[in-house]
Structure 1
């Protein structure tokens, strides 16, 4: 058999290239396991959303949007030395305080929280807290004082998950309601004398809050795995997430198989460096899911409006379509569509009470919600009594009119 010159040249190239590849394989270290992870994209797997009345009926989650402006107005009144304010002091601050209507009308909707009276000058309406609301406000202040370490630790964890361990103040302010921080959280940190926090200047002239800490921080998933003996403190261990399928939710076989393989992937803690991960790999997706799990576990009611989390993408290294992670992992998160918004809820917090610690401020907020419900009953009774009074007045007017008509129709017998 004769071999042409072109063929021999080709064989030489193949042999030389194979020798180089073998030599490089022997000399270079083996690729870490994450480089062999099968790639996937967010559109590959789709789980059909199913309504779940259990999560849709959690009151302190779905009334949180309504409660936030109430607490803001409550703070305005409680901070005043006299414990009362004229309506003129807050009437033009509706947008700032998140009030969805005229402030006076909003205050009058909650008579169990805000008490209205006529002021000393010009007969203007003034507002003060009811005794019940004032007592809950005192309890809230006690929580801020007694559970200060817990609250500052939650803020510290949020910052430690960010790139560079620093966050702009505007981002923290956007999350402070969910974290349960007081409105003046910067002064709160100064009083706490926590040296791990420091104010810094970041890009575009923004001020930020940085954390200096070298200690290893374990996520909620890792701590629970340690308790169960499924985690030994190392990195890149295959820790499985706790799953809670909704009743009646049927999943196709291929999605079940994919989910089993996804659970076997190494777990990357949100507090660890993730720069080595391929952003299109499944292990990177597991890191994103772990971050969302840890984030919601820090919040007061373990939930948040999904659109509020979109501003975190830049500072936490999240993908552009991070919101799709909630839709792909419905066994971990529930998306509620109440209140004309989409709220992401961490299922584990409401199915395994020992897995995630309750936020110290949750009990206080539930008491405010109780007063909100009492306000609804008070207004309902007022409307009913007004209707009853109006009916009595109407009946009395009709009786008087009938008597006048009868007198007019009677013949005049006087002579």
Structure 2
């Protein structure tokens, strides 16, 4: 039977569109190289102990307190020692031990030198409050949603130089600094599965105000191709292909951490340069321009960083230094310690206080050495008074 259907004219097919994506990725793999200049900075080498020491000093009172009152807080304090008692005994210049009235249990009180540091810390925060809390505002503005889970913001207070009871004590009045705490009643959808639904936001939501300039923009101006300051460590050698890639990397467009980045292709070199700029700006806000690498991981999704952004620290050893100390890895911004006066990074108001805490640690080491050897030693310090210390009668070793 003959088909009644008319044959269709064959249409000329257009050639298939072929999309070629140019990839300029260079596999930068370098072994970690020790830099003694950073290992010798006291505020960095003692960074792991400063935070629990300051936290315990706030918990203890000038009068003797049983160690059982703080021993259960070991996990939240993150003391390197297994027991809080061992940690307190490591720093006799900050904590004075005595025997309790019953069962010969150890009691501790904060030393006069540590108490003076706490008062000085409160005075500095009151005098420089706008500058210190402004760093927290910058951190919130770096988030695309202009919000940050309260649990994450709480973990950043120590690095920003803000009292750790800033959100808990109503006397601080965070609304005077432009912050507000949002709850589920405000229609907040928390992105943190472990959170309680509370987020830290801005009263003005960052609207109607000009975004701040990053540290790199303040140094080089608001140009398109802002370079990342490089500070090679002594003896660190890069392969020629990595040097060529790094020169091209510096000429890439710079995207401010406070700008919209939705147009950037993920996995591109521009995306990597933005990640370097975000981490550079973040570390410049901290007191010591450094932080534990694991503490930065919780900021990944809130700052729009790639999944494996921690590899940026290894791919850019001229910008960041990884300080390995007692099974802990700290990320240090090199510009803050190697640029001298040629930098727009301002010194944090709390930096001098952190140095005084380190001084107490060094004096504690000297006291322990004096006790073990039986040799007298004279301690001189701005935060230390021999008349107020248990070893006030120690004389200089002749």
Q: TM-score range by the shorter chain?
A: 0.7 to 0.9
Q: Which of residues 55, 61, 67 is equivalent to 2:44?
A: 61
TM-score by length of 1: 0.78
Alpha-carbon distance in 1 for matches of 2:106, 2:252: 62
Alpha-carbon distance in 2 for matches of 1:38, 1:349: 36
Alpha-carbon distance in 2 for matches of 1:97, 1:250: 40
CA contact (8 A) 1:168 1:209 kept: yes
Q: Which of residues 134, 155, 158 is equivalent to 1:153?
A: 134
Q: Structure 2 vs 1, CA of residues 38 and 345 (structure 1 numbering), >3 Å: closer, same or farther?
A: farther
Q: Which of residues 110, 124, 143 is equivalent to 1:162?
A: 143
CA-atom RMSD, angstroms? 2.7
Alpha-carbon distance in 2 for matches of 1:303, 1:131: 29
Matched, 1:360 2:353: no
CA contact (8 A) 2:319 2:334 kept: yes
1:172-183 to 2 correspondence within 5 Å? 172-183=153-164
Matched, 1:220 2:215: yes
Q: CA deviation at 1:288?
A: 0.4
| Bigger Rg, structure 1 or 2 | 1
CA contact (8 A) 2:280 2:333 kept: yes
Question: What is the aligned partner in structure 2 of residue 133 from structure 1?
Answer: 114
Return 5+ residue gaps in structure 2 as ranges.
1-8, 184-188, 376-398
Question: What is the aligned partner in structure 1 of residue 200 from structure 2?
Answer: 209
User: What is the count of residue pairs matched by the alignment?
Assistant: 350
Question: What is the aligned partner in structure 1 of residue 368 from structure 2?
Answer: 379
User: Could you report, residue by residue, the CA deviation over 1:201-248 in whole angstroms, capped at 9, with x for unpaired residues?
Assistant: 33254211012223221110111113xxxx35xxxx111111111112
Alpha-carbon distance in 2 for matches of 1:131, 1:305: 30
Alpha-carbon distance in 2 for matches of 1:224, 1:359: 18
Alpha-carbon distance in 1 for matches of 2:370, 2:96: 17
Greater alpha carbon shift after TM alignment, 123-132 vs 375-384 = 123-132
Greater alpha carbon shift after TM alignment, 282-291 vs 182-191 = 182-191
Q: Structure 2 vs 1, CA of residues 188 and 287 (structure 1 numbering), >3 Å: closer, same or farther?
A: farther
1:38-53 to 2 correspondence within 5 Å? 39-41=23-25, 44-53=27-36
Matched, 1:309 2:296: yes
CA contact (8 A) 1:335 1:343 kept: yes
CA contact (8 A) 2:43 2:354 kept: yes
Which aligned segments of 4 or more residues in structure 1 are displaced greater than 6 angstroms? none
User: Could you report, residue by residue, the CA deviation over 1:328-367 in whole angstroms, capped at 9, with x for unpaired residues?
Assistant: 1111111122221221110000012332111111111111
CA contact (8 A) 1:182 1:188 kept: no
Alpha-carbon distance in 1 for matches of 2:106, 2:31: 52
Alpha-carbon distance in 2 for matches of 1:370, 1:190: 29
CA contact (8 A) 1:196 1:213 kept: no
Alpha-carbon distance in 2 for matches of 1:39, 1:152: 41
Question: What is the aligned partner in structure 1 of residue 67 from structure 2?
Answer: 87
Alpha-carbon distance in 1 for matches of 2:68, 2:325: 33
Q: What secondary structure sits across from 1:117 in the alignment?
A: strand
Alpha-carbon distance in 1 for matches of 2:249, 2:170: 42
Q: CA deviation at 1:194?
A: 2.5
User: Could you report, residue by residue, the CA deviation over 1:285-309 in whole angstroms, capped at 9, with x for unpaired residues?
Assistant: 1100000100110111111111221
TM-score by length of 2: 0.81
Question: What is the aligned partner in structure 1 of residue 338 from structure 2?
Answer: 351
Alpha-carbon distance in 1 for matches of 2:373, 2:219: 53
Q: Which of residues 233, 246, 269 is equivalent to 1:282?
A: 269
Alpha-carbon distance in 1 for matches of 2:283, 2:143: 15
Question: What is the aligned partner in structure 1 of residue 54 from structure 2?
Answer: 71
Q: CA deviation at 1:196?
A: 2.5
CA contact (8 A) 1:113 1:129 kept: yes
Question: What is the aligned partner in structure 2 of residue 328 from structure 1?
Answer: 315
CA contact (8 A) 1:115 1:127 kept: yes
Q: CA deviation at 1:91?
A: 2.2
CA contact (8 A) 1:112 1:371 kept: yes
Alpha-carbon distance in 2 for matches of 1:188, 1:331: 43
Q: CA deviation at 1:64?
A: 1.2
Q: CA deviation at 1:37?
A: 9.5
Q: What secondary structure sits across from 1:89 in the alignment?
A: helix
